[in-house]
Amino acid sequence: MNIVILAAGMGKRMHSDLPKVLHPLAGKPLLGHVLDAALSLKPAKLVVVYGHSGEKVRAAFQAPDGTGSPIGGAPSIDWALQMPQLGTGHAVFQAAPFLADAEPTLVLYGDVPLVTPTTLQRLAEASDGGRSVALLTQVMPDPTGLGRIIRADGRVVKIVEHKDADAETLRIQEINTGILVAPTSRLKAWLAALGNDNAQGEYYLTDIVAAAVRDGVAVNAVHPAALWETLGVNSKTQLAELERQHQRNLAQALTETGVTLADPARIDIRGSLACGRDVAIDVNCVFEGQVTLGDRVRIGANCVLRDAAIAADAEILPMSHIEGAEVGAGSRVGPFARLRPGTVLGEQNHVGNFVEFKNARMAAGSKANHLAYVGDAEIGARVNIGAGTITCNYDGANKHKTVIEDDVFIGSDSQLVAPVTVRRGATLGAGTTLTKEAPADALTISRARQVTVPGWQRPVKKRAK
């Protein structure tokens, strides 16, 4: 199958400098969703028709060497420029040179992001192996502005655009979604013969339906499983509506696999979220990139997880932010904790409130429960990191590593000036500034001796004259 995706429109009603098809839905450009659906059908040829701000669109989906596409699957994308934009028929005509005559052609739209592979497969089957035209149509309670499907004796005979319709035609509720499959050799001929004698002065792709009927080619109609599959985006309002619909779909899919959501209306998934058994997620959580949650993981309210792996029985308490990190089995993180990229927590770790980890590994049974910063560090097992502790990993030019071996106790308000090592079983007294190795099984303290000055008077504020 050939697949053509129309993505040349300006999107005036978006009121944005960003091309319409690059606006994100669930963290992915609108066009990215359509490309995913297209690639699921394993097309022989994939053509994107681009136009306004087209180089931005191409750059978003090209490989670093300027060819192909960085998204999964094959084939690479062929790009067809439509300039000026003279209608949908004109747009598909720009893609015609790339299309193989022996394969039927499916036409999709870069601003209709939620059409499902299942519906597209049913549409392809309705084309009788590419011998017929198959239309994706929809019955709408309010079809205002949409092209109407005209039938005779129950069969589709033509499509009339809203601006060209008379009063009787406007009462029809079955509409054209624009998505169709057609035999490619005939499609090319029909496109070449299109005229623009209509209210908009454009070349309508929909006019090929009447041409097919005239040539004795059957036209079959297929309805999608859900109305939202064919909804497009022409404004920020419509984008927000589709975002909520998509999130509802994702939430339903999670609950149907056994995930407990405190409120399915208050979760945002902007990537992929894989969950084990008996996972529970509280309200207002955001999942970005690739996130995996093991069995019995609990996520507290208002957490953000990006490209993170949380192992079984771990708990992430409210208001925590985890990015590019791994949390070991049975560990407890938060509330108000931040794990930055490169962080790997072992089993049964505790990372508490207002603690930040960056590019640090911590072995089993260790904890940092309060108000600490740990960066560029290797921490052993059964280590206690006291409140107010920081690893001073940056000298203003380079990052340096801190090593804390097993069974170490770090007293509160300590500063470990990297590069530095704390040996096995060592104890650092509260308030220590460590600049060289702390020996094993010994107490290390570096703080000024306490002094009391008798008779000392606190300064008094001078009175204004």
| 79 and 203 fall within a common domain | yes
> Among 162, 223, 370, 400, which one carries the catalytic annotation?
370
| 6 and 138 fall within a common domain | yes
Burial class (CB in 10 A: 0-12, 13-18, 19+), 75: middle
pLDDT of residue 181: 98
pTM: 0.90
> For residue 459, is it within any domain?
no
| 352 and 412 fall within a common domain | yes
Q: Which helix (H) or strand (E) holds 190?
A: helix 184-192
Could you say which DSSP state residue 449 is in? P
Cis status, amide bond into 84, omega within 30 of 0: yes
Residue 395 lies in domain? 236-444
CB 45 within 8 A of CB 75: yes
pLDDT of residue 63: 64
| 263 and 213 fall within a common domain | no
| 219 and 246 fall within a common domain | no
The whole-angstrom separation of Cα 341 and Cα 344 is 9
| 187 and 266 fall within a common domain | no
Is-catalytic flag, 33? no
Letter string b/e over residues 333-355, b meaning 16 or more CB atoms within 10 A of that residue's CB? bbbbbbbbebbbbbbbbbbbebb
Q: Which two tokens stand for residue 318?
A: 């409210």
Which of 175, 204, 230 represents a domain boundary (last residue)?
230
> For residue 460, is it within any domain?
no
Which of 165, 196, 230 represents a domain boundary (last residue)?
230
Q: Which two tokens stand for residue 263?
A: 């409120």
- Residue written as tokens 């062929």? 78
> For residue 450, is it within any domain?
no
> For residue 158, is it within any domain?
yes
> For residue 451, is it within any domain?
no
> For residue 456, is it within any domain?
no
pLDDT of residue 72: 45
| 135 and 265 fall within a common domain | no
The whole-angstrom separation of Cα 420 and Cα 439 is 11
Instruction: Look at the chain and report how many structural domains it folds into.
Output: 2
The CATH code of the domain that includes 190 is 3.90.550.10
CB 75 within 8 A of CB 44: yes
Mapped onto helix, strand or coil, the DSSP state of residue 242 is: helix
Per run of 10 residues, the mean pLDDT along the chain (length 465 residues) is 94 92 96 96 95 89 60 71 94 96 97 97 95 95 91 92 92 95 97 91 92 95 95 96 98 98 98 98 98 98 98 98 98 98 98 98 98 98 98 96 98 98 98 97 92 90 81
The CATH code of the domain that includes 432 is 2.160.10.10
| 96 and 242 fall within a common domain | no
> For residue 412, is it within any domain?
yes
Instruction: Quote the strand ranges of 214-276, DSSP E.
Output: 219-222, 260-261, 267-275
| 274 and 349 fall within a common domain | yes
pLDDT of residue 64: 57
The whole-angstrom separation of Cα 281 and Cα 17 is 36
pLDDT of residue 73: 45
| 111 and 201 fall within a common domain | yes
| 263 and 332 fall within a common domain | yes
The whole-angstrom separation of Cα 283 and Cα 195 is 54
> For residue 457, is it within any domain?
no
Which of 168, 200, 230 represents a domain boundary (last residue)?
230
| 203 and 264 fall within a common domain | no
